[in-house]
Structures are given as C-alpha cells and as structure tokens.
Chains A and B, each alone.
Chain A
Amino acid sequence: MTAKPAIGIPAILKTAFVNALVALVLFSLMVGIRTEAGASGQLTYWTRFGDLASLVAAVFGGSIVIELLRQWIGPTGAEKLVPPAVQSGISFIGRYLAPALLIFTLLVPVIFYDQRYILDLAILVLTYVMLGWGLNVVVGLAGLLDLGYVAFYAVGAYSYGLLATNFGWSFWICLPLAGILAAFWGVLLGFPVLRLRGDYLAIVTLAFGEIIRLVIINWQDLTGGPNGVSGIPRPSFFGIPLDNSDDGLAARLGIEYSPTHRIVFLFYLILALALLTNWATIRLRRLPIGRAWEALREDEVACRALGINTTTTKLTAFATGAMFGGFAGAFFATRQGFISPESFTFQESALVLAIVVLGGMGSQLGVALSALAMIGGFELFRSLETYRMLVFGMAMVLIMIWRPRGLIGHRAPTVYLTKAQAISSDLVKEGHG
C-alpha cells in the first residue's frame, strides 16, 4: 500500500481545478444570478459574483485539503481506520448489545415514568422497529424490493378502526383480523406482481401503496375519506378499560389513576408485538421456508432447478411481511384513536425502507438500531430547526459511505455443523426482486 506512487502537486491542483469548474457551472445560475419578479411583473435580476467567487474558492481550497488528507491517511478502509483492539472491543460489545438493549427497553417506562415525551417517542421508535422487522422479511430475506409497504400498515389500521367503530369489536379480536386482512391483501397484490423483477416490482408496489391510499380517500361511505376515522376505541387490558371509571384497571387494583398507565400499557403492547415479529422472523429463518426466502434472494434460477416453487415462496414472504405491517397498523390506530389517509403516504414507506437498508438487510439488530437512529436521531436534531433535514441527510450519506451494506451487513448462518461464523457482507446478494 505504501508503494502507491505519491500524487504530485500538479495532479492535486488539477483535481481541485476540475472540482472548482464544476462548482462554477453549478453555482453560476443558482448563486451568481438572482432573479425576481419586479414591481410590475417584469423580470429583474442582479448578480452576486462575490458570493459565487467565494463559493468556488471554497470548493477549490476544500478539494486540495481533501486530496492532501487522502494522501496522508492512505486508502480508507475499515481495517485501517479502526485499530484491531477497538475492533475486538466492538465485536465484544456486539455480542451483548442485543440483550442489553432489550433489558434497557423493558426498563424504559420505569426509568422515564414521569417523562411523557420520552415514552411517546419510545412508542414511536418501537412502532418503526416493528415495521422495519416486518419489511425486513420481504426486502432483507426474500430480496423483494417493496416500496408500498405502507399499504399494509394502512390496511391494518383501517381494519381495526372500522371494525371497532362499526361493530364495537375489541382490540384483541381485531388485532389478528387486521394481520390476516393485511396478509390477504399482500397475497392479492403478490399474485399478479411477483413475476416482475427488480425495478419493475418496486414500481408496481409503489403504485399499489398509492392505490390503497387513494381508495381510502375516495371511498367516503366506508372510510370517511380525507376526514378519516375518529373515535377509535383505546385498547383495554384484556377487557378491563384503562380509564378512571369505577371498573377501570386503576380502581380495581386500588391505585390512584394516572393517564400514564395507558401510555405504559401501550409501550409494553408494541414491545410485545415487535418481539413477536422478531421471534417469528428468527424462527422462520431457520425453517425451510426462511432458507428458501434467502436462497431466492441469492439465486432464483437455482431455486427453480432445486424444485422450489418460487411463486408461493415469494407470496409467503409478502404475506408474512404484510401481516406484521397489519399488526403495526392496528396498534397505530388504537394508539392514535384517529386515522386518516395522511398517515399513510409514500413518505412512510420510504422511511421504513430506509430503516431496513440502513440497518443492514436481513439483520434484526441492525434494523432495530437504525430505527432508533432514524426516528430518535431525527428528534435529537430538532434543535437545529431549518437545518434538521440537511444534517440528517448528511449523516445518512456518511453512514452509507462508511458501511455501504448497512450498520450490520454480515449474515449469520441458519444452521451449522461445528461453528457458526458470520458471512461477509460482500458475498451476500441483495436480490433482484
């Protein structure tokens, strides 16, 4: 690596000059000339060549600094930047991170009992953890790019919302129904779509997400259209309401009523649902169906040659992911008490997909960490106000440069003879849809 010929000053200057030229072209119209509509509607403009010059100069100087840094550090790689001692430390932490996180999560309502804001945020993060784990089955394991995952979230939410408000069914009856209905829609979407691959599949799922949203907006008789469904019942503690009435949980236990009880209950409810998703996914991975999902992601043609029915395998992946999305949707409806089509835009699908990709496709811990980073981190930057999105976007870009295969990119084998060893991320395929 040291044999690399040192780049001379002319080469550095050339790179910097090219970068400056690109900046000049880019910024000359954006910064250099300012246009505005004048008093009588005519176009007025004035030039800001000073600003332009300083920007181009900054790019020129910055390029030189970066080139020099690059020479000084050498080729960047994880091994080079992180000393071995730190790496072994990280792997040590990695082993105990998941149990530690789980224990901490269980204790969150105890530690932050008085801080409603943190409890609400924790519930939000857990909702996205669950959605991430659900989508992980489709994208991470089966390698099917699904841009319309929010559709199943919406189906789940509206299933519970409508069944509860129209028929007065309880949350615990509607929860499995919401999951089943979402899975049903997953299969219904899957049948015509799953013969498509890659980009085509992504576009059709994107369209499906929009179709569901538009149907909800326009089917006013059933869904209330843009007004949404309100007055959705809060969940009960297996039949015992969580309010300050005489037969509420607090009264029965003989303790003073506090609205926080409901929040804590919701917290443990979503935690249980998320852990159920996690348990099912881990379990499914070790079953033939889960192995077939991963094999499908690796090589579909080989799967067919081994007698695996690729269509039903894809459909089960879609249905399983959709079912977990439906559970999460039912939870969302009962937590909010109000749902409207606005909650189920493409933005949500993109966010959940970003969580899965950032976490490392297929990794349960990675998805949980990235949901924490994406949702929690976004709140963390709240003080930056206008620059929040900018900083957040830059942080994401940096993470993807540092770890292109996500936070936890390697794959753990599902079965082993002597020793389970992690499989490096560059061998694992992403799937072609």
Chain B
Amino acid sequence: MSGDKMSEKILGVDRLTMRFGGIVAVQDLSFSAARKKITALIGPNGAGKTTVFNCITGFYKPSGGAIRLTHDDGRTVALERLNDFRIAKQAKVARTFQNIRLFPGMTALENLMVAQHNTLMRASGFTLLGLLGVPTYRDAEKRAIDLATDWLKRVNLLDRADDAAGNFAYGDQRRLEIARAMCTEPALLCLDEPAAGLNARESAALSELLLSIRDELGTSILLIEHDMSVVMEISDQIVVMDHGVKIAEGTPREIRDDPKVIAAYLGADEEEAAAVMEGGS
C-alpha cells in the first residue's frame, strides 16, 4: 500500500537545488532516508554534502526543490519552508556540526539542559511561573536532569557531568554533541562527520552508539562521513554525491561495487577510493 510506503520514509528530498550566485553547489538532488534506519551521505570533498545538510536543517534556504519530513503519526512538514530554529523546534530535526559547536564555558550537564530549552520553557510558564518557583516547573527540571543524566551515561561521560565542555578531549566533545542533539528528542538526527578526528577505538564506540540510537530508540539517522569503515559498518543505505549531483544510491554492498562511485573517488583522491573499496570488507 502506498500509505505504508509513505510512512517508511522519514525524509524525502526532491529535486533539491542550491545556488550561491553563479555556482551550483547542489543540483536536482533527490533521495530519501528510511525511518529507523541509518542513511549515509558520502562523496569526495566539495561534493556538496554539507550544503545538503544545511538545507535540510534550515541553515540555508534552498534555491529550489522540496524537502519533506514525515513524522511517525503521518504528519508531513515541508522543511524548505521553515527557517532556522523552527526546524529543530517544530520538525524535530537535530544536528551536529563538522567543527564541534558545544557551549565550551558551560558544563556537560548544562549543555544537555540547554538542548531541552523548549520543553523547559513551556514547563516554566515562559519564565513567569519558574520565577515564582512553582512545583510543576521543579518536577519538569528534575525530569530534564534525569534525561540528561541518562544521555551522559549512554555516551560514557557521567563522571564528567560537572566539568566545562571546553575542557573535554576531542572524542568526548563529539560524543557530548551527539548526546546534546539527542536531548532535543529528535525524529531525525543529522550528523556531520561524527567520526572526523577520532581514533580507531573511538570510531568503534561511535558506531556502537549510533547503532544503539537506531535500534533502542528508533531514531532515524542521516550522516555525512568520510571514515568508510564506519559508513560501511553501520549504514543501511548510502547516497553518493559528486559535484552536486547524486551518482549512486544503494546498500553498502552495492555502493562498494559500483564502478561510478569508484571512478568518482579515483578521480578525486586515490586514498579515499582505496578506503571505499577496502572499507567494511
């Protein structure tokens, strides 16, 4: 049935185009991300992956095309019409950044509390009730701290809850940023190169974390990644981009053997091409 087919797909990108002046960064890109699955967006440097991300998460306004997000209850949101914070607030799309953007002067716990801003604002009666210290707000805050504690446990940072996020090691910051995005309780989690700069052990832990987010919480994940061992291991679906257009789409196995993908990577960078062919095997 077509209705079932619709609800299997959480994100549908249709003929997305993004132009910066005369430069076309993304052209007529169409792909979809399946619900409760991990979809990877890969491609050589400059392929336009981050541009696609910024369009989906509202940091850019697409020049053309449609981006549809279908929630579990069948509600569909047109992301290209929402702007910045509303995508996170109303459409429940959370994201992380290629160059980590934590609040360095705030503790890990505070970072996760800020992520629950909208829930807490409602509970605090938009500050007025909270200022008077009504018990309903105190309960809501306790629940928020519990959720944050739960996530700190998941990303293995519970003992550092009261340390400033800026003091964390690189790998810990990456995990904390994912935890912060998850504290917004998103329907779709977008990760921009979550494994960049991680060592092999940290990458493995990251893969495990992402799989647990998919399997235990049923959150759909869309990620950009260069680390092919991570991509091949955890992705259910891979979309390959080059020069702003999609060149292939399929399961990791299909992508690995796709001559167009290999050519794109060979044309771009030998090392990356080798990584595609060796990764996951």
Which chain A residues have a beta carbon within 8 Å of chain B's beta carbons?
280, 283-284, 287-289, 291-292, 294-295, 297-299, 301-310, 316, 411, 413-421, 423-424, 427-429
Contact = CB atoms under 8 A, between A and B. Distances in A.
Interface string B157-170: 01001111011000
Nearest to B140: A288
A306 B88 contact: yes
Interface stretch (B2-10, B103-111, B202-210, B242-250): B103-111
A415 B117 contact: no
Nearest to B105: A428
Contacts of A423: 105-107, 164
A421 B101 CA distance: 22
A414 B164 CA distance: 12
Interface residues of B, number: 47
Contacts of B113: 288, 291, 414-415
B118 A414 contact: no
B119 to A, nearest CB: 8
A288 B124 contact: yes
Which of A291, A302, A307 has the most CB atoms of chain B within a 10 A radius of its CB? A307
A306 B121 contact: no
Contacts of A418: 161-162
B53 to A, nearest CB: 11
B164 A427 contact: yes
A208 B97 CA distance: 36
Given A307-B88, A309-B89, A299 B162 contact: no
B145 interface: yes
A292 B114 contact: yes
A355 to B, nearest CB: 21
B84 interface: yes
12 contacts: A289-B121, A291-B113, A292-B114, A294-B105, A303-B85, A308-B118, A413-B110, A414-B113, A417-B149, A420-B162, A423-B105, A427-B105
A170 to B, nearest CB: 26
Given A306-B117, A419-B162, A295 B106 contact: yes
Contacts of B167: 427
A411 B105 contact: yes
A189 to B, nearest CB: 21
Given A298-B103, A305-B94, A306-B184, 11 more contacts: A280-B131, A288-B114, A289-B121, A291-B114, A294-B106, A305-B181, A306-B115, A413-B109, A418-B161, A419-B162, A429-B104
B82 to A, nearest CB: 11
Contacts of A289: 121, 124, 127
A299 B103 contact: yes
A296 B86 CA distance: 16
Nearest to B130: A287
Given A287-B130, A302-B102, A307-B85, A424 B97 contact: no
A288 B102 contact: no
Given A283-B131, A301-B101, A413 B94 contact: no
A299 B105 CA distance: 10
Interface string B6-27: 0000000000000000000000
Contacts of A308: 85, 89, 114, 117-118
Contacts of B115: 306
Query: What 10 pairs across the A-B complex have the smallest Cβ distances?
Result: A307-B88, A428-B105, A307-B89, A298-B103, A288-B120, A427-B166, A302-B101, A295-B114, A423-B164, A417-B161
Nearest to A413: B107
A113 to B, nearest CB: 36
B51 interface: no
B57 interface: yes
A421 B106 CA distance: 11
Nearest to B118: A307
B130 A304 contact: no
Contact of B102 (A292, A299, A416, A420): A299
